Structure 1
Amino acid sequence: MGGCDGDGNVDQAGFGKPMPWIGVYIAAASLACAIAMAADTAAGFRYRQLWFPSRYFALNAMSLSVITVAVKLSVDLNTPMPRREEQLAKLSSSVLICTVMGNSMPSLGSMKNKELLSNVIALAILVITSFVNICIQLGSGAIFDFVMEHAFVMFLMLLLLVTLSFSSMMVPTSKRYLDIKYYEMHEPTLKDSLSRSCDDVFNKLKEDLLKYGMMAHSCNPQFIVARSVTCTASGALCLLSAVTLAQAMLRSYLASWTFKFDYCHGESDYQWSSMAILITQTIARRGNKSYKDEFKPEKYWIQQFIEIKERPFNLHIRSRRCRKLIHDSKNVVLDMLIRIQVGIVLGSKAVRLISILFMSPILLFCDLCSDLRKKFSPPEGSASKPDFSQYILHLEGEEELVHVMMRNKCDTIERWIEMGKNNQPKHLVQLLEETDPRGFPGVMDFDSDAVPPLDSAEPPNNWTLPIATLTSIAVAIPDIDPSARKRLLRGVREALMYVNIVEERLCAKQELMNARKAASIVFMGVDLFHKWLDVDLRKISLQVNTTKDVLEELACTAKDVFVKFKAVPTHGHLMESTSAWPVNVRAAHSMYRISETLLLDCESSDRDMSKRLFEKLSRMISDIIAACLTNLEHAIFIECSRSGIEGRTEKAWSAAILLGRTAEVMEILSQRELPCLGSDQLASIDEWRAMTSVP
């Protein structure tokens, strides 16, 4: 029988052969955890934040699965592991669990309530399972060395689990409180921004960004948890567990060298892979920062328990005694949980205070060096920075953090703006500078009312589709310098990045969705393959004799696409609403109208027609782009001010980069005179055309 030897007994000879490769799998999972935590640490240093964000190593289903694989050694009950490296690897697995809990704690802030509950429960199951398995191994003798270290790390493991679990209870309350404060500050900030008239749009937007950046950063859900006293204490406990592992490793190696101490003889099934596990798990360590605070628990720590306590039980039980017993039991349990929460907070404050006492000489030395550097460095000629401390949103007991957060966040926003300035769209700037800066005539000229309509219903215009269609025609014009075509394509490619941002923020109407899709498809075909839909523009340019022939060919092709689609009986319901037109039909309609408009002013006998038409198309494209990008100020303001609490910091950063990248563009556009339209009307190209057509 398979699996048995000649005597009928189970043949176990091959059972341990895959174990080294399982060890490699464990080492790979540990390395993945280490890389993710190192990436978070690097991001914190790169952006000069006061904390290490949980971007790559957050508490979720995927990370918990990887952690479960990484700590397999600590739950392996019966595999013999007699060597020093293998006993240390078991200890390092326990320390890794502690490190994971400390490092992933800020990610609690970015979770919804149900997600928060499920992830904390899943982590608790993993930690308790590991704890029980380690206890079994200590009792069975599978773990025979570093017993005191294991006991101490297990205590830290449970303490970290309790701290993390109770810290999650303050997340909904603190997020709700700071979200209310954000909207209370948002209204006066918005009114102040709208009331200020300033010729320097860039500096006005920069000031608004600094304000909203302060508000967004200070109410960042991950930062709320990261600056809490329990997270600070968790960092200290993680560091303590890492020190415990370090002293165990040092003691074991020194003992073997000094006293010729020998471990048990024998070979583990994991063989050489246990050393790889030990190395990868040892490098996955880091801590958090600390700040001084008053030695008392703030109300938001227990607010969630108080709300649950005040909420009545809706139980359909007839017996009054049973209802009263359940109600009293609930209050007793919640009172106990409140006392535990208060104890955890006070204990965390004590740990933080001890950490500060140990770190105070280093901090004082750093402050002294900073003061000396300021004293001997030449004075800066720039004016002092404005005080935006009123825009720092903070919880009870965080008053001393305000000036630290303000200084850090001001510098961060300005760095993002400078980063954007170093990556400005030079081809777009060149396209805008080459055209006439007086007004925006191309917005009106690209589509004439003299062109007969293809259908009784005319779809609304958007910004991107006319730009893509005009660029397609420009590529098809014969006898044009290839370098001029290339410059135009580069400028339009850069412009569409910002035009799309304006449309996404300010023109997100359902009726324009197909037009935007058509524009992206048309320009991708022109940019990559020099094709409009399936029409080869280069082939048309070479086959026809004159520029007028090119326009007639494009208009005829576009009309055929539209008419053929309309002629199909089953497409009748789609033609009833212009928003339901397919992408190719929408693109064909735009090509037909623009080509026919250009034909109204086209003479076949004019030899310089190609050059003049290309210049005219470039001017139209530039004018439409310029008219659209006059909405950048509004789009940037919307980008940084309107988002959920979880995404506000990223929105503020992206708005700062966008402001830096478009600084020169806004400087060019500030020289043009805008029509007398409101901000909502300026975002619509049809409103521009309606205003321009009024005599």
Structure 2
Amino acid sequence: MPGEDVVAADVEKQLAAPMPWIGMYVAAASLICTSAMAADTFRGFRSKKHWFPSKYFTLNATTLTLLAVSMKLPLDLTTRMYAATDRLAKVSSLALMSTAIANFMTSLGTMDDREMLMNVTALAILVVTVIVNVCVQIIQMRQFLNGRKMVVEEIIAVVVMLVSLVMMASSAVMVLATKRYLKTKYHEMLQMAASDKQIENLTFDKLRLMIQKYWVMAETSNPQFVIARSVTCTTSGILSLIVALVLLQVEIRIVMEYNILHQSISNYAWSTKLILFAQTVGVAVGTIAPASRWFIAINNFRSRNESGTSIRSAFTVECYWTQKMVDWRQGSLSFRIRHIKSRKFLHDLRGLFLKLCIYFQHTIVSSSKLVLLVSVCVTAPAIACLNYVRSLTRQKRISHSVSSRDHEVDIRGYVMLLEGEVELPKETLESICKEVDEVIRKGKKQKSENLLKLLEKSRSFNGVTEFDSHEIPGLNSRELPYCWSLPVATLTSVALAFPNVRKHKSKLLLNSVTEGLRLMKIIDKALDKKGRLANVRTAADVVWVGVELYHKWQDKDLRETSLKGKNAEEILQQLRDKAEKTVIEFRRDARDCLMRNPLNWPTKVIAANSMYRIATTVLLNRSDTTDEELFEQLSVTIADILAACLTNLGHVITMKCHRNAIEEREKSVRKAALLLGKTEEIIALLQQRELPVSAPDQAASIEEWRALVSQEFSSKTNIEIGVSESREEHADVKSEG
């Protein structure tokens, strides 16, 4: 009826009204994906990692949701989209999905087994849904295909998307096996790298070379780098390049045939152009990383060919590609079935399925290697010319750099390669080694000038044993141990509260200790492997936050104390009394049995216990000195503790290089290189000092250090007493004679 038709038309019009804003949402999601891929590309160029590791655009729930929103046009089966711009936007959406899969590839290396399974399955569901929707449209509209100008490009984009998904799944299976292989190989090479390590004599140059070894091992065993070197990732790069070229040619063709700026007649209206622009930029940006991996793989393959490797060996499918499926096939069922025949049937059925998967995996890897070989043959003239031009500008610098490094240490011996992999090109190895030096140089720019001035005041390590006297009765039956940073934070709080001290001296001490505590926190955390002193370390941090930012020790204003105090002795008594009261009140009110162990005390009480003992010690040892002289004495004590703590730097840097988790190695070694650069002058300064213990690792904690120094002091005292007594006896005998 006419009335009903009018109502239906009005309803349809109302429903179509918000469609342009939905299109804006799709364009925004596409731009976010584009920005993430651009960030990874920029980061790769900046760090000179031309295999472009994934950091921002990784396979996870967020990016999959954004991609699902970006696929709104291919998934829309009801909206009429017959104009050139509308059809072109659908092709660009399919191209964006293929490009995204290629960029996702390396992020598989950052996942554990379960996370990888869940994410790859979710991606497969999304891709299959898109493919099914596109196929439905093509099949249902087959009688009108003569009028569709871009059906061939749609089919190509769908096929590329499906093949890219297959490459992703193939790489995921490979990663599961290679992680275990790389972990085992890393432990073997770790022994080789540490064979000549001397913890007690680690100079700056030795530490730099050690970091260089571990850096190469961590970088080349990075699962993302391993995936980037794989043939499936190379094929994915080729597919990404093909789909980008297909999109480019169809856009050029449509622009020449139609005015695409006026060819959008769907309900998405003007937003279609925004979607097309955002996704075209996304495809262009996203193609850079996969295409670069493909280009590097071609160079590596040509190097392998020049080194005399046979074509037959180049097509060998290494065992790690199928190792995980072989393990699954040989293993038992994960669920229990009592009926023996049923269990046997399921086991055989699973074995048959996995056998087919293994055969399919062999086919994928062999096909990928064939594609790589064809790529090498096709691009050989252009690549040869480009390499020749590059060699003219870089050969002299590369040969000089590599030869100088080879003279120092054979870095190539620490490269982690999989079975059948060719050696990394010199340019790649040089880039890895240069990155180490660059991080160390970056650390040198952050050196601690004020801390060095404070350390120069230290002439011995006496302050380590003298800051807390054993003669002081404890406030608890079990004595609370120190970490390195707590006595420094407490002593500085005391020193900054002294009146009659020049302001610039207090400010210099504050800045020096701030720089020192940053390093002490790193050392404390690294050496406290079991986290036994976690509360003590937190207490030191809380104390220093109050001192540095608010000039307060707990709720006592140090500036006000300094201004109102008559002398240092009175201030020390006030701080000691306040600390003693805090500890006693806590012990009186504590009911939890955990509080019997002082390591479980609240940070405020731990800090108060430290203040009580240190303030009492300073009062006991104080002679007739001025406030400024006492301030200088405390500064020397602080410098002694800092110097003793920082003798552990070489040991801590070494520990940071020995990270077992494959995902954390590179980050940890980078921190070690940065720390080495920051502390170069400190290490050189402390190496001129004679340590009271044979090796820093024998007295890593301050409590161990104090115990060993006390033992050595007692031994020396006994020897001196013995020598004195023998001299007296000799003198008596001589006088009698």
TM-score by length of structure 1 reads: 0.92
The 10-residue stretch of structure 1 (470-479 or 149-158) with the greater mean CA deviation from structure 2:
470-479
Of 645, 651, 668, 2:685 maps to 668
Q: Please identify, of 231-240 and 295-304, the stretch whose mean Cα deviation from structure 2 is larger.
A: 295-304
In structure 2, the partner of 1:563 is 584
**How many residue pairs are counted as aligned between the two chains?**
680
Which residue is equivalent to 2:527? 506
Q: Distance in 2 between matches of 1:339 and 1:580?
A: 59
Is 1:580 the counterpart of 2:600? The answer is yes
User: Residues 446 and 148 of structure 1: is their aligned pair in 2 closer, same or farther, counting only changes over 3 Å?
Assistant: same
Letter of the structure 2 residue corresponding to residue 56 of structure 1: Y
Distance 1:229 1:535 in 2: 66
- Separation (CA, whole Å) in 2 of partners of 1:173 and 1:352: 23
Deviates more, 1:324-333 or 1:622-631: 324-333
2:195 aligned residue: 191
* 2: CA distance, partners of 1:520 / 1:657: 22
CA distance in 2, matches of 1:5, 1:428: 84
Letter of the structure 2 residue corresponding to residue 205 of structure 1: L
Query: Does the CA contact (< 8 Å) of 1:392 and 1:402 recur in 2?
Result: no
Conserved? CA contact 1:442–1:623, under 8 Å: yes
Please say if 1:460 is aligned against 2:484: no
User: Is the 2:43–2:52 contact (alpha carbons within 8 Å) kept by the matching residues of 1?
Assistant: yes
1:451–1:276 distance in 2 versus 1, CA, 3 Å: same
What is the alpha-carbon distance in structure 1 between the residues aligned to residue 176 and residue 8 of structure 2? 62
Q: How does 1:560-639 map to 2 (within 5 A)?
A: 560-568=581-589, 570-571=590-591, 573-602=593-622, 609-639=626-656
Name the structure with the higher helix share: 2
Indicate whether 1:478 and 2:495 are aligned: no
Counterpart contact for 2:175–2:227, Cα < 8 Å:
yes
RMSD (Å), alpha carbons? 2.6
Amino acid at match of 1:343: T
> Could you tell me how far apart the structure 2 residues matched to 1:263 and 1:479 are?
82
Give the aligned partner of residue 693 of structure 1: 710
For residue 157 of structure 1, the aligned residue among 154, 161, 168 is 161
User: C-alpha offsets along residues 51-78 of structure 1, whole Å, 9 cap, x if unaligned?
Assistant: 1101111111111111111221211111
8 Å Cα contact 1:229-1:352 kept in structure 2: yes
* Letter matched to residue 666 of structure 2: T
Tell me what 1:47 maps to. 47
* 8 Å contact from structure 2 (residues 200, 695) kept in 1: no
> In structure 2, what is the Cα distance between the partners aligned to 1:28 and 1:621?
56
Equivalence for 1:529? 550
2:398–2:430 Cα contact (<8 Å) kept? no
Encode CA deviations 1:277-325: one digit per residue, 9 max, x unaligned: 1111111222242231612221211112222222244776576655554
Would the alpha carbon gap of residues 680 and 647 (structure 1) be closer, same or farther in structure 2, given more than 3 Å must change? same
> Structure 2 counterpart of 1:355, which letter?
S
**Larger deviation, residues 363-372 vs 57-66:** 363-372
Give the direction of change, closer, same or farther, for the CA distance of 1:631–1:319 in structure 2 (3 Å limit).
Answer: closer
CA 1:297–1:559 in 2, change beyond 3 Å: closer, same or farther? same
Name the CA shift for 1:623/1:316 in 2 (closer, same or farther; >3 Å).
Answer: closer
Any conservation in 2 of the 1:639–1:652 contact (CA below 8 Å)?
Answer: yes
SS in 1 for 2:481: coil
Assess, with a 3 A threshold, how the Cα gap between structure 1 residues 316 and 661 changes in structure 2: closer, same or farther: closer
- Asked whether the equivalents of residues 565 and 571 of structure 1 are also in contact (C-alpha less than 8 Å), the reply is no
1:306: which partner in 2?
326
Q: Is the 8 A contact 1:218 1:405 kept in 2?
A: no
Alpha-carbon distance, 1:679 to partner? 4.1
Deviation at 1:27, TM superposition (A): 1.3
* Cross-structure match for 1:268: 266
In the other structure, the counterpart of 2:216 is 214
What amino acid maps onto 1:422 in structure 2? K
Task: Report if the CA contact (8 A) 1:108-1:168 is conserved.
Answer: yes
Q: Which segment drifts farther, 481-490 or 675-684?
A: 675-684
- How far apart are the structure 2 equivalents of 1:572 and 1:233? 63
Contact 2:215 2:436 in 1 (8 A): yes
Q: How far 1:376 moved relative to its partner?
A: 7.1
Which AA in structure 1 matches 2:545? Answer: M
- Structure 2 partner of 1:127: 127
* Residues in 2 aligned to 1:548 and 1:74: alpha-carbon distance in whole angstroms: 80
How far does residue 522 in structure 1 lie from its aligned partner after superposition?
A: 0.5
Q: CA deviation at 1:129?
A: 0.4
Shift of 1:328: 3.6
What CA distance in whole angstroms lies between the structure 2 residues aligned with 1:57 and 1:6?
A: 48
Structure 1 residues 411 and 360 mapped into 2: Cα distance closer, same or farther (>3 Å)?
farther
Q: Distance in 2 between matches of 1:361 and 1:56?
A: 36
Matches of 1:90 and 1:374 in 2, distance apart? 44
Q: CA deviation at 1:529?
A: 0.5
1:130-141 paired onto structure 2 within 5 Å: 130-141=130-141
> What amino acid is aligned across from residue 660 of structure 2 in structure 1?
S
The 1:117–1:384 alpha-carbon spacing in structure 2 relative to 1, beyond 3 Å, is closer
For structure 1, the 5+ residue unaligned runs are none
Decide whether the 8 Å contact of 2:647 with 2:696 is kept in 1. Answer: no
Q: Distance in 1 between matches of 2:192 and 2:256?
A: 66
| Cα pair distance change 1:118/1:376, threshold 3 Å | closer
**Letter of the structure 2 residue corresponding to residue 103 of structure 1:** N
Partner residue, 1:373: 393
C-alpha spacing 1:154/1:555, structure 2 compared with 1 (3 Å): same
Q: Report the alpha carbon displacement of residue 509 of structure 1 after superposing the two structures with TM.
A: 4.2
Distance in 2 of aligned mates of 1:509 and 1:333:
46
2:510 to 463, 484, 489: 489
Q: CA deviation at 1:85?
A: 2.5
Q: Partner letter of residue 94 of structure 1?
A: L
Tell me the distance in 1 between the aligned counterparts of 2:489 and 2:73. Answer: 60
Q: Is 1:430 equivalent to 2:453 in the alignment?
A: yes
SS across alignment from 1:69: helix
Partner of 2:437: 414
Deviations for 1:201-238, whole angstroms, at most 9, x for unmatched residues? Answer: 11111111111111111111111111100001101101
Identity of aligned residues (%): 40
Q: 1:466 & 1:459 partners in 2: Cα distance?
A: 12
Residue in 2 that maps onto 1:396? 419
Shift of 1:367: 3.4
Quickly say closer, same or farther: Cα 1:517–1:133, change in 2 above 3 A: same
Distance between the aligned counterparts of 1:130 and 1:469, measured in 2?
Answer: 64
* Whole-angstrom CA distance in 2 between matches of 1:319 and 1:629: 66
* Matches of 1:359 and 1:654, distance apart in 2: 40
Q: Which residue number in structure 2 is paired with residue 171 of structure 1? A: 175
Counterpart of 1:230? 232
Cα–Cα, structure 1 residues 442 and 168, in superposed 2: closer, same or farther, change >3 Å?
same
